[in-house]
Structure formats: C-alpha cells, structure tokens
Amino acid sequence: MPSLADVLAALDGWYPPSTAESWDAVGLTCGDPGERVERVLLAVDCVPATVAEAVSSGAQLLLTHHPLLLSGVHGVPATDPKGALVHRMIRAGVAHFVAHTNADVAAAGVSQALADCLGLTGIQPLDPDPAPALDHLTVLVPAADRDRLVEALTAAGAGAVGNYDQATFTVSGEGSFRPLPGADPFDGEVGVLTRKPEQALTVVLPRHRRADVLAAMHQSHPYEEVAFTLTEQPRLPGGTGTGRIGTLAGSRTLAEFTEHVAARLPGTAWGVRAAGRPDQPISTVAVCGGSGASYADLARARGAEAYLTSDLKHHGTVEAVTERDTGSAPMALVDAAHWATEWPWLPVAADLLRRRFPDLEVAVSDIVTDPWTLHAR
C-alpha cells in the first residue's frame, strides 16, 4: 500500500500547488504523510456528512475540491464547527487534502471534466495558461559518447516531453576542428585539422533547469570545448488554464441544450436555468466549473454561443443577454448549481489514483452537498 506521501506526490504532479491562486488554501489540512493509505474518498466539500462517510468507510484520506480552512484561522478548537471536523478526522486517522484552483486549471481538471461530461469536442482552455518555458539544446557529440550524454542530460532534467523521457532527435554528420597551441584535445593533434563523425543531439529542457543541464553537458561530454546551440522556445498557449471551450456533436436550441446539461450533471434542487432565447441555436459552448461569471466576456469573444457556469448574478446576466442584444442572438448564459458543475471532476481524479496505485481502494461520494435543498417555481 502507498504512503500518504506517495499519494500526495501524485496529486501534486497532476494538480501542481504552484498553479493555485494566491488566495487559495490547497494541500494537506491534516494527516501524517508517513501513514499508509488503503482507501481514499473523494468529495466536493469537506462537511460533516462527507467526513462521516470517510470515517465510516474506513478511508485514510478524504480528498475534496473545496478547502475546509480557506479563511485564515488562529486555532482549531473542537468547540468550533471546522475545528470539530479536524479533530474528528485526526481521531479517526483520516487525512484531509485539498485540490481547489490548482484542479480548476489542470489538464485533467474541473472544467475539462465538465466539458467532457457534456460531450464537447475540440476542447481547448478558455483562458489558456502559457506552456512551460522551454529551451532547445543541440549539442555535437561523437556517436560512441551519445548515449552516455543522453543519460546525463536526462538526469539533469532535459528530454522530458509529457509522459516520456529521453526524448531526443539525432542527425549524423561530420565535425571538423584544429586544436591550437595550449589545447588539450580528447581526439586529434595540436595544429592538425581533424575530421570526425559526430552526431547533432537535440533535446528540450525546462528553462529553469538550464544551468543544471548545461553543467551536466560539460561534465559528461568528452571534448574540452563543447559545440552547442541553445535557443528559447516562445511561450505558446498550453493545455491548462481556466474554463474550456468546444463544440457540441450537433446544433441544439438553447432549450434543448439546457435540458442536455440537466441530464448530464448530477441532480440538485437548484437545477439548471438559462438566460437567452429558447430557440437560439447552440453549437459552440464555453464552460467553467464553479463561479465563472468573470469569464463571460472572454467566452463571448472566443465565439461561444452559450456559456455554462455557476453563481451568476442578476445585473451581469441582464447586461449579457439584454443590453448586448443588438439584433443578432447574444451569447446565452446557462447557470447550474456550483456543486454540480464541479462533481464530474471527482471520477476523473479517482481514475487517475486507481491507475497510479492499483492496490488503492478509491471511492467517490455521491452525497449532494449543494447547500440549496428546496426549489419552488
């Protein structure tokens, strides 16, 4: 069985804490990283009902999307509602871990799961983050020393592309050089022009590992003077970011799309509501799990005909669908329960854990923790 530290390392890899908003509180709330984990329970909220479920099911880890201690606290006494939950989890040996805004923007995150849940195709981030800053390194090396150099560059952080390492490209050619007085050549003689078969080895590397990779290159290369080229790749849009935008399999009216959303998302008393013309055709859809009202203008600019998110307010909705109605159909807004737009991420995260840790028992809570419990028309 993995340790809690093993599980947290995997989660931090999928949902890097560095991508969380500065105001957020992600990571481990309570728990001992050295303890073994046999069972994990995933939920949107850390509330009495989900804590009780974790305890009764024998889970050693409760993973939630929303933080328990988002606002700053000076203590967690058992007389405080949140403190009482912390005490209950500690007594039962249940660790609590949060992946919040870092899970929102992830490639396998909340908005991606929401877009997949609706069956969108051609999905891209609505507000993409820049791809990681990369360098391209091409170094000339004798063929016999290529593999040793690749191993050294890999150990220093070069040659990693997605789920692959030692990703390289090699071109064979002929190198020439003439050692001058004072040189101590690995091959050839001082004053004599030398031609040798060489290979041009190209790898990518994270820019922040540049110094380490260049040091490894010089230390493992047989030549006294290493011929290399280093270039910076432009910061292109990456596969992570806030929200998603994609296309429906077939055009639907807004009324049909609203029913489609209601059928795909878990049921809540809040349900799903839409602002716009019921017969408006919808093909391009933008989504943002949770509270995404601030991205409505961006969704419109990206060509979305409907934007699905949560917690929309009256005035912003009026402006979006009424004041912007200049004859052509404005972008429709579709509002679902906050909890419902984020729950589809839980099975995705659960599947990642099962595949990484086959011996781990992983469950997803189906307790509806949306706070709204009644709805009357």
Contact 126, 286 (CB under 8 A): yes
**Residues 192 and 264 reside in one and the same domain:** no
What is the pLDDT at residue 263?
97
**Residues 142 and 218 reside in one and the same domain:** yes
CATH number at residue 303: 3.40.1390.30
Mean pLDDT for 94-123 is: 97
- 57: DSSP letter: H
3-state SS, residue 351: helix
**Residues 194 and 264 reside in one and the same domain:** no
Choose one of 182, 201, 232: the last residue of a domain.
Answer: 232
Contact 63, 44 (CB under 8 A): no
DSSP states of 208-230 as a string?
Answer: GGHHHHHHHHHHH-SSSS--EEE
In a domain, 80, yes or no: yes
State pLDDT tens for residues 160-185: 987 888 999 999 999 888 889 888 88
How many CB atoms within 10 Å of residue 324?
13
Mean pLDDT for 105-122 is: 97
In a domain, 360, yes or no: no
**Residues 253 and 336 reside in one and the same domain:** yes
Domain hosting 251: range is 110-129+241-341
**Residues 143 and 12 reside in one and the same domain:** no
State pLDDT tens for residues 88-108: 999 999 999 999 999 999 999
**Residues 39 and 87 reside in one and the same domain:** yes
In a domain, 215, yes or no: yes
In a domain, 377, yes or no: no
State pLDDT tens for residues 241-290: 999 999 999 999 999 999 999 999 999 999 999 999 999 999 999 999 99
**Residues 147 and 194 reside in one and the same domain:** yes
State pLDDT tens for residues 323-346: 655 556 689 999 999 999 999 999
Mean pLDDT for 111-118 is: 98
Q: Measure CA 106 to chain center.
A: 2
What is the pLDDT at residue 185?
82
In a domain, 139, yes or no: yes
DSSP states of 270-297 as a string?
Answer: S-EEEES-TT-EEEEEEEEEEE-GGGHH
Total domains, the chain: 3
In a domain, 159, yes or no: yes
State pLDDT tens for residues 7-24: 999 999 999 999 999 999
CATH number at residue 171: 3.30.70.120
In a domain, 354, yes or no: no
What is the pLDDT at residue 179?
87
In a domain, 292, yes or no: yes
**Residues 316 and 249 reside in one and the same domain:** yes
Give the residues across from 116 on adjacent strands: none
Contact 124, 115 (CB under 8 A): no
State pLDDT tens for residues 210-226: 999 999 999 999 998 89
What is the pLDDT at residue 329?
66
Of the chain, the end-to-end C-alpha distance in Å amounts to: 51
Residues 6+ apart with CB under 8 A from 164: none
pTM here is 0.82
